Amino acid sequence: MHASEATAYYFKRASKHLGMSERLEKILIMPKREVKVEIHVELDNGELVSYTGFRVQHDNSRGPMKGGLRYHPEVDPDEVNSLASLMTWKTAVVNVPYGGAKGGISCNPSVLSHSELQRLTRAFVDEIHDIIGPTLDVPAPDMGTNAQTMAWIVDQYSKYHGWTPAVVTGKPVELGGSKGRDAATGRGILFAIQAFMQDEGKALSDLTFVIQGFGNVGSWAALLIHQAGGKVIAISDLTGAIHNPKGLDIEALQRHAKETGGIAGFPGAESMDANKLLMMDCDVLVPAALGNVLTKENAADVKAKYIVEGANGPTAPEADELFIKQGKHVIPDIFANAGGVVVSYFEWVQNIQQFRWSEDRVNAELRTIMMEAYQDIKALAKSNNCDMRTGAFLLAISRVAQAAAVRGLENDSFCMIRPTA
């Protein structure tokens, strides 16, 4: 199943509860705009190379569109579409005033020099500067891009439109980036787990965790879960997988990964078969690396009772249906990993107000937003007698549809879309 089909499946599963018409479903599933541009860049050796760049703008009913920009050899338009739509639902779940977008350039950033990447980024901005902006569409870093990429975008965009740091988020702090942005997705995962486990009557110290991925999301989630008393017993990344039934020392693992480029060879753990990681005996599984890793092929072997989606789209619908049948709980991506976009929103707010927040304020406001979203999702899941993902989609779809209705973008049938809470 393609990524966009999986997102559409979850959307439709929720929209059934709302009694939505097919026509309305179609409007909310299809992106509003898909832009494809050719970018010509001179390499350091003088050769002229063309790259294809994309920006998919899914929905702007609730505000400017928001979503990452990835540089990857296989930027797949179908996946970009699916991720753009997930951003619409994610920003609605956490009630930040944005729609959803996603984009990227088909390129291999690891073989491009610093100056080639800079030229590529500036040339891309030349092509798309009139469709992005603080009130239109606000990109952010994603796979293969980082704070430096965002800094180049600010600089190039500002040549056309005047000084505009709010055109992107995830910038270096010196250029208007927010404190706490780096840890935000991992911190949001911690808050999501704390909120859910409180209802389950469980303390983090009672639970064992297994995490796939030790990049931005996985390493921050691991560190914060560890610091909050949770026992992280296994982790994997591209270099391999490690486990220690007594719990991994995450601070030491971070130092090791920084020095060696990965988690393999960490002296405080045994190495293990990375293919077995997702099926390990544990309480909480946090897939925080890739999409589509829990599938119909391996779902029956997953032992964790709780699955917290750090990555975007890690669970295929067939696996999700099985987990529901088995009474497992999935904390869905559009809520669990929303901490990043929430702090991106704080960055945008700080840029527009030309004001700086302390890290404590960022973390406290993030906690408030995650806790409110959790309560909203829980109320809908309870009243509709459904799983948390469907509850989150119900919340998101109804917020987007209601915003579209009151703006007068569609006919009155939008107004019918009110979930019962």
Interacting residues with ligand NAD (CB under 6 A) = 143, 185, 212-218, 236-238, 274, 288-291, 310-312, 337, 340
Residue 238 corresponds to which amino acid?
L
Minimal distance in Å, beta carbon 89 to ligand NAD?
Answer: 13
The rounded distance, in Å, linking the Cα atoms of 181 and 154 is: 17
Token reading at 228 = 């909050």
- With a CB cutoff of 8 Å and minimum separation 6, the contacts of 159 are none
Closer CB to ligand NAD, 54 or 414, in the complex: 54
Nearest-angstrom CA–CA distance, 321 and 315? 10
Q: Return the number of other C-beta atoms located less than 10 Å from residue 258's C-beta.
A: 10
Quote the least distance from Cβ 13 to ligand NAD, whole Å: 21
CB of 237 to ligand NAD, least distance (A): 3
Complex with ligand NAD: residue 89 or 214, whichever CB lies closer: 214
Q: How far apart are CA 343 and CA 184, in angstroms?
A: 6
Phi, then psi, of 327 in degrees rounded to 5: 80, 15
- Specify the residue, 221 or 397, whose C-beta has the smaller distance to ligand NAD: 221
Q: How far is Cα 405 from Cα 413, in angstroms, rounded to an integer?
A: 8
Residues labelled as active-site residues? 102
On whether the CB atoms of residues 384 and 17 are closer than 8 A, the answer is yes
Give the number of residues written for the chain: 421
Nearest CB to ligand NAD, comparing residues 103 and 218: 218
* CA-based nearest residue to 180, from 357, 368, 404: 357
List b or e across 158-175, with b for residues whose CB sees 16 or more CB atoms inside 10 angstroms: eeeeeebbbbbbbbeeee
CB of 63 or CB of 213, closer to ligand NAD: 213
Which residue type is seen at 374? Answer: Y
Confirm if 189 and 218 have CB atoms less than 8 A apart. no
In this structure, are residues 156 and 139 in contact, taking their beta carbons and an 8 Å threshold?
A: no
- In angstroms, give the least distance from the CB of 291 to ligand NAD: 6
Please state the closest distance from residue 25 (CB atom) to ligand NAD, in A: 25
> Of 64 and 291, which has the nearer Cβ to ligand NAD?
291
Closer Cβ to ligand NAD, 212 or 350, answer by number: 212
Tokens of 410: 């569609």
Give counts: helices (H), strands (E), the chain. Answer: 13, 12
Q: What is the DSSP string of 60-109?
A: -TTSSEEEEEEEETT--HHHHHHHHHHHHHHHHHTT-S-EEEEEEEES-G
Task: Give the Cα separation of 110 and 71 in Å (integer).
Answer: 10
- Sign of the torsion formed by the C-alpha atoms of 369, 392, 183 and 278: positive
Nearer to ligand NAD, 44 or 73 (CB): 73
Contact 280, 298 (CB under 8 A): no
Alpha helices, H only, 176-307 = 181-200, 216-227, 250-260
Q: How far is the CB of 226 from ligand NAD (least distance, A)?
A: 16
Least distance to ligand NAD, CB of residue 100, Å = 12
Chain centroid, CA 93 distance in Å: 12
Min dist CB 293 to ligand NAD, Å, is 8
